[in-house]
Structure 1
Amino acid sequence: MWFKNLSIFRLTEAFTLSPTELEQKLAGMAFRHCTAHEESAFGWTAPISSSGQLVHSSNGFMMLCGKKEEKVLPSAVINEMTQEKILDAEEKQGRKLSKKERTAVKDELIFELLPKAFAFSRKTYAYIDTLNGFIVVDSASSKSSEDLLSHLRKCLGSLPAQPLNTIEKPSLIMTQWLTDQAAPADITIEDECELRSPEEAGGIIRCKRHDLALPEIKNHLDSGKQVIKLAVNWADRIAFILDESLAIKRLRFLDLVNDQLADMNAEDEASRFDADFAIMSQEIANLLPRILEVFGGENLA
């Protein structure tokens, strides 16, 4: 259950629903499988499968889990079968089909094949931090995160949330850290970064398992490239890749955090989940204000 990626949103109004009230709202869009002719279906499922509850609450944090099922129809197969049907129809009718007719042939084929298609599903976890006013989604994809928030808005009627934004541009601050080799005392620069030239369609340099203090890195920075991704370690508690949009990727909780978990006695799935969630959510709640602080504070405009 430990989150690997964080897409972070700021609630611009207090979240006032109780866990019970939120559960009732989500129940109207509980997960169901695709019908025969549906290409996809989305719904809410229990974060802890054994509990059956759509909301898992702990100390002001409310965990949700969205589940999306999609039918698999390989585009290469569809295109080949569509072309065969178009050629067959043109031969029988003695004329070329119009663009509209060709589209109709493809749509009809997809409709025929959907009931026979394999389906796969994936879960996306998120939680609402009602104390500090954040929504945190475990996803490296902004599209996937926005999709989950869109479905949450449908359930709630409205959800005043926006991507996290700071006064200073993260790329400029991270570039300065790397140029000066002088990040804040509680932030350690690790061995991975991505640099980009500021001009449109500028070149990108990716460095992994690389000493970022070497002159060759400074040469790229002196030529005008900016840091758009940087591997850092915060207070020897959490390591991650931070990008220019404040998304956090490849999140790892370090020994100081894992030692806390080892001290907790969790005997079943629900207890383990609750212990993991309690520690993880609190660590992230401690991290986010610090991220906002090092980039000049939050911009709510």
Structure 2
Amino acid sequence: MEFSNLVGVSGQVIQGSLVRSNLVCSNMLVDNYVKSSRQFTADTGCELLVIGGQGSEKDCIVVNKKIIKYLPELGTKRVAATSVKVGRKVFVAGGAEELGAVAYNTCEVFDLNEQTQWNPLPCMFESRKFCGSGVIGDCIYVTGGRNTEMLSSCEKFDIHSNKWTKINNMLHVRSYHGTVVCNDSLYCIGGSGGNKALSSCERYDVKSDVWNEIAPLNQARSGLTCVILDGNIYAIGGSDKKNLSTVECYEPRADKWRFVASLSKELNRPSSCVVGNKIYVVGGHLKDGSISKSVEVYDPTSDEWTTAFEMENPVLNATVVAI
């Protein structure tokens, strides 16, 4: 059913004299309409789920082109959390109530099929915000971040046993970094090591529980966002004393970074995911200190960025997954 048709049908029914005179009936129709619109959103297979962030700490917003729908709120306010999607479930870990608040070790999960509520999960060993995450096999890996200090610690959550286990620390403390999974290995890219942006990157071997250095970025960057596309790692935006628009692409076989087309604007701490073989970058801090509402899209075929649309509200320190 087309969204416009659904609105039209609902509008026609609500105009009926019986409904106008019956508040209970009217409310039931509105409730059914909301449920139907959410189901529409969940079934298209080409959406972004924007979770938490400054000014929208409990919001879970599904964005499908220019259509925006709200899913049930998070159980806890979350800024600077991390998220992954496994099957039809979305997992969120860490973050904080607000930007300057103490980091959480709490986690929660949402079933996209049921779409009823977020449910709590066992807590991580370490409280952390501005951390990263990725999925390998049946485990969710969470890396670095910060609480009262920068962290090199990492841990994994077994989805089936519902338990957290510590893994070896990274070679460097990292927060505001990128974390992705490529060829069943975990990669941590750039970030902040304290007082400066990092160009260093490292790879975690799941079987040996060992971290190794890989080629550094051409440009140090903290507050970047990272994705995997066509087997390559993209490091997008961030800052190094000033906001960056530059984007780098890493080819694992060659162990080399190269620059690709830059964003249309300098963005620090944006969020991103891949949908339909394109990279979507949401929000972020602009160089003038304001917060972006834009969703930018990268097409690797043409090596071009375009602005797809704008969100209703600015987005910063949110976490995004493709659903």
Class of the TM-score when normalised by the shorter of the 2 chains: under 0.3
Larger Rg: 1
Higher RCO (C-alpha under 8 Å, 6+ residues apart):
1
TM-score by length of 2: 0.24
More helix by share: 1
TM-score by length of 1: 0.25
More strand by share: 2
